[in-house]
Amino acid sequence: MQSTIYNSPAEEAFMALVRSGLRDTVPAESLFESLRADEWEEIYRMARRQTVCGICYAAFCRLPDRLLPPHTLLTRWVARVDAIETANRAMAHATSSLIATLRLAGLHPVVQKGLSVARHYPNPELRECGDIDLWLPGPEFDKAKTVVSPSAGLKHNPDGSVSFSYRGFVVEFHRQLINVSSPMISQDLDSFTRRACAAEVSHDDRYPSPPPLFELLLVSIHIMRHAFGTGVGLRQICDYYCTVKALCDSYDPYKFERACHLTGISKWIEILNGFLVRYLDIPAEELPSSGFKGKNNVSPDVLMRIIREGGNFGLHQQEPGICDKPRAKGKMHTLVMFFRRSRFAASVAPFEAFWCFVRLLLGQLR
């Protein structure tokens, strides 16, 4: 990796840990030979902020003892990882219970992101968890709301989803598997998604997941929409890479290129891929082609600035507890952040950026 692209030796070592944790490899020892205690503290702060403590832990455990973090920091890091694993097990049990309840009501939930993406990691329990996201297509969405206990505090969200509390976790029910702002694209994509999932999703699975092509689209578009607004963190980029790596032989590359073109994310995929190559030293041949034919004038450095600026979903500070989830900052905050990144959004996916802006403006009037 090129040291000149990092802000400090600590950041270079941090990114090396992330790469090694994702790829199950040993980090380059030379990056850790001369790290001071305060630089290790900086690495830990970056890992917390980007919610990749577990990934980094798995990587530095492969280093010789003499290169490990100072004992006091190592103790805190181990405790953090233990809490992450405990929370993931609790979320797995909660998700299984909720899916079973919905199935008893005759519904067919599909897991979005979260546990579905975690299964693609080398060690799923080391991915820091967030919400439980479930897609319930068509009329099943409204029926699912009637299954929720009145004491759960059902809340209707601006994007059309509903959320509530279940066994200590925030649960979101979604009307659409893949959320895009353009009304025409959204309608066509939703119809196509329903048909494909009806044929391909196994509802006998403990965690029914989207078909590979749709899961990759879902993860990619989800990251893009956050990058346009409140921001993204390195964990979301890790989600993309792990999904790409795990599903590489499970979908038709031509169909993915076609889907990228139809949803207007071809250039965005090139930026994501460019970031992985530049900052995490991922071989370009491991990454999917989006079929983008134009000139990509957006440097991966722009995405790196967004990641440095915001951390996990645009937060500088994590929520108390382990399952980190940003507090709702309000529609006005999202609109302001979108304005700040409007030039970036318009250059990456102009059609989606326009409709994002329209929907955010309409949201201010409600």
pLDDT tens, position by position, 162-202: 999 999 999 999 999 999 988 889 988 999 999 999 889 88
Residue partners of 259: CB distance under 8 A and separation at least 6? 213, 217
Give the integer Cα–Cα distance in Å for 166 and 347.
40
The structural domains of the chain, with segments of one domain joined by +, span 211-365
At residue 320 the predicted structure's pLDDT band, cuts being 50, 70 and 90, is very low
Q: Tell me the per-residue pLDDT of 8-58, one tens digit each, with 9 for 90 and over.
A: 999 999 999 999 999 999 999 999 999 999 999 999 999 999 999 999 999
Rounded to 5°, angle at Cα 264 from 262 and 266? 100
Report pLDDT for 365: 55
Q: How many CB atoms lie within 10 A of CB 29?
A: 12
Query: In the prediction, which pLDDT does 363 show?
Result: 65
Q: Among 168, 188, 109, 114, which Cα is nearest to 143's? A: 109
Question: Which has more pLDDT, 334 or 293?
Answer: 293
Reply yes or no on whether the pLDDT at 116 is more than 70. yes
Question: In the prediction, which pLDDT does 44 show?
Answer: 98
One-letter amino acid at 324 equals: D
Arithmetic mean of pLDDT, 253-265: 95
Cβ–Cβ under 8 Å, residues 128 and 235: yes
pLDDT of residue 316: 47
67 secondary structure, DSSP code? G
Average pLDDT along the chain: 90
As a whole number, mean pLDDT of residues 236-245 equals: 98
Band of residue 117 on the pLDDT scale cut at 50, 70, 90: very high
Q: How far is CA 354 from CA 4, 94, 220, 266, 363, in A?
A: 35, 38, 18, 16, 14
Average confidence (pLDDT) over 85-91: 97
Confidence at 232, pLDDT banded by 50, 70, 90: very high
Q: What pLDDT is stored for residue 354 in this prediction?
A: 87
Are residues 40 and 5 in contact, defined by beta-carbon separation less than 8 angstroms?
no
Ranking 23-37, 104-118, 225-239, 332-346 by mean pLDDT, the lowest is 332-346
- Does residue 136 carry a pLDDT above 90? yes
What whole-number percentage of the chain has pLDDT above 90? 73
pLDDT at 319: 40
pLDDT at 135 over 70: yes
pLDDT in tens, 321-364: 444 444 445 566 666 777 788 889 999 999 898 888 787 777 66
How far, in whole angstroms, is CA 338 from its chain's centroid? 19
- With a cut of 70, say whether residue 129 has pLDDT above it: yes
